[in-house]
Structures are given as structure tokens and as C-alpha cells.
Amino acid sequence: MKERPARMRIRREKLSSRLPAALLLLFVNLIPAAAGAAHPKVSVERSRSEPPRWISRVPEADENFLYFVGRASGAKSLEDAESDAAANALSQIVTTIGVQATLSYDRLRREAGLLLQDRLTVLGEAQVTGLKRLESYYEKQTVSDGETVVSSYSSSLLVRYPRQSLEREVSRLEQEAAGRVQQADERLAEALSLEKADDLENSFASLIQTLALTAKPAIHAKADAARNLELCRNRALEAARRLSLRLRKVAVEPVEAGDSASAGRERGKLLTESLEQTLLSQGFHPEKGETVLAANILPRVSAVCREEGASGLEAGFCFSRWTAACRITDPRDDSLLFAGVYTAKGFGLDPERAGQDAVRKLRVEIFNKFAKDARDKFDLSFAAGE
């Protein structure tokens, strides 16, 4: 008996409604996963009869242009696949320039639309000009299993980027890096001068400006400029940490309060707001600025609140005991600057109300005691010259 083939191949042509029929032939391969009509079938539509050579081998750069192939797969639509492929090509180019770290995927997707229209594209810190889309190729894979049909798209995009544009952009970034070094040095000198004059708030503000200028990597900076930028940042960090203690500036972390369910998260949010307000009333200054927090210069305030026990003392009268482990740590090494464990006792007609009363006391009484204790500790430390 003649053996029945394990896999069958059927090819048919289709015309795409997206492109002129004269320019695009869609070749469909129906590939049963195994013999028998009951198994899923896979069909593949291609924008060309054969994938172009540049799919597997990116063209080598010549004296005028660099070439890149953007790729994407598993997209739900052809439009998404093409946008993802364009974003991938842009990501490669920006990596070549040297500033990929400043870009997000969403930003790449937005800018990719400009590439698909052959327009000027500006990405984050890099200015990509002269980019040209040369060719594209896509495949649509459809898996059919009875009543279920699932389609996905993959796309590849060949683009070229002028060498002159790359050289011009690298030169611009070198000049920008040198300018940042000079500005950062000026802001740091200003901050240190203000600190000597005991103008601590303005000194701290200048230090934050210094940190903002030195936060970005010194891309394409010359060796001496890169070293100066790093040295300037380290000096600014040390000065900012020193001033943050004197100015009572802190970073308040979200309070942990019980489980991670919705009620626990809401309770934690409420306790965090209460902790911030209490610290403010005791002379501390919770900071929320992105540059300040990202620099990791502020003492970190954290609190973990837990219900340790609940019981009914008598009919219609319940008791709940909560603890709050509060601490302030040095951001450099997580060493303790101050810590304390406090207890709040709540009472109510039922366990829920008793717990609510205990949490209220955490907010009103316990956090206030912690903030006062921390303030006194800091005052003693400065008085002793620590």
C-alpha cells in the first residue's frame, strides 16, 4: 500500500487589498500539522514568492550609507508588525549613535510612524536625519483548528542611514557633553559657595541642578570630559546627602500595611499619606521630585504595619493590636539612622472596628511619636557633630 504523506503542501495565489495587485502576489502554503483533516492547519501568506536576501543577510555598509533591517513577529495586525519592525530599525540606529538608554519602546513606536512615511525622525537625545525606507517584506500566518482561527503577522524592513548624518550626530553629542561638563561644574561651584554662606536651601537646589546635568551618560564625550563629569557628579552626590540631613529632607517609601489585597493597598496608601503629613509637621521635608529620588541621596523613611492579634474581650467588645516597625536608613548602604517599633491598641464592637481604631491610632499617635523621636535623634546627632 502506498504510504500516505505525513505532510501536505498546497500553494495558491491571493491578491492583497492593501497594495496594487500588479505589485504584490500573496503565496499561501497550507500545512497540515499531521495527516488527517482533524488536525490544525497552518497557512502562510507572503508578500513575495521568496523572502529577499537581505532578510538573512544585512547588506554591508558602503562609503555613503549604513544598512539596517528592522524585524517584528507575532503582531496582531500588519500595521502593528510594520510599526514594530520600523521601531526595531530605529532602535538599532540609535544604538549605533549611542543613546538607546534614553528611549522607551512606546516612544520608538510613535516615532516609527514617521519612518514609514519617509519623514524626519527625532528620537530622545539622538536626531536621526536622512533615514530612508528601501524595501519591506511580511508574512501572515493563520492557524485554523475547527471553528478557531488565529492570525499573526511578521514584518521586516530594510532601511539605510547616511554616514554623514551619523558623523554629524556624533559630533553634536560630543559638543553637548562638553557643554554639560562646564554647566555642571558651574552649578557645583555655586552650590558649595552657597553652603559656605549658610544658604542651605539654595545650595541644595543648585546641587539638584548639578545632578540633573550629570544624570545622563557622557555619550561620545572625550575621556577627560567623561572623567570630569563623573567627578562632578560624585562631589554633588556627597554634598547633597550631607545637606539632606541638615535640611531634614527625606524620601518616604509606601507603607506596608497587611496583605496585598485591595483593602490592604488602600490602607497602605492612607497610612503613607499620614506618615508624610506627620513628618512634615515635625520639621521633615518629604521630597517627591524625580531627579532627587532617582539620585538616591535622601534618607529613606519606611514603615511596616501589621495586626499582631485580635480577640473578643467580652460580648460586643473586641480588641486589636497593631505594630509599626518604622526606620530611617542611609541610602548609600542601608545602614540605620533611626529605628523604632511601636504598638497601637484598638477597641470596637467587632474585630473590624477594633482594627480600624488601631489603624487610626497608628496615623494619629504612633506616626507622630516616631517623627518626634526621629527629630530628637537627628538634633542630638548634629549637636554632637556626627
For residue 26, pLDDT beyond 60: no
CA neighbor of 346 nearest in space, from 368, 373, 324, 369: 324
3-17, 95-109, 139-153: range with lowest mean pLDDT: 3-17
Question: Does 103 score more than 50 pLDDT?
Answer: no
Q: What is the C-alpha separation between 341 and 164, in angstroms, rounded?
A: 64
pLDDT score recorded for residue 261? 62
Q: Percentage of residues in the chain with pLDDT exceeding 70?
A: 78
DSSP state of 55: G
Please, what is the average pLDDT of the chain? Answer: 81
Buried b (16+ CB within 10 A) or exposed e, 301-318: bbbebebeebeeeeeeeb
- Residue 174: predicted pLDDT: 80
Q: With contact defined as beta carbons under 8 Å apart, do 159 and 68 qualify?
A: yes
Q: Which domains does the chain have, with CATH numbers?
A: 10-161 (no CATH), 167-246 (1.20.58), 251-383 (3.30.160.180)
Q: What are phi and psi of 328, to 5 degrees?
A: -125, 125
State residue 112's pLDDT score.
52
**Could you tell me which residue, 307 or 22, shows the higher pLDDT?**
307
E strand or H helix at 138: strand 132-145
Tens of pLDDT along 326-381? 999 998 888 999 999 999 999 998 888 999 999 999 999 999 999 999 999 988 87
**The pLDDT of residue 111:** 53
Mean pLDDT of 104-116: 51
Over residues 110-114, the mean pLDDT reads 52
The order of strands in the sheet holding 26-32 is 10-14, 26-32, 41-46, 132-145, 148-162, 65-75
> What pLDDT shows up at residue 109?
52
The position carrying cell 524625580 is: 290
In tens, the pLDDT along 252-276 reads 999 998 765 667 788 999 999 999 9
- Interatomic CA distance for residues 58 and 349, integer angstroms: 74
pLDDT the model gives residue 60: 94
What pLDDT, on a 0 to 100 scale, did the predictor assign at position 217? 64
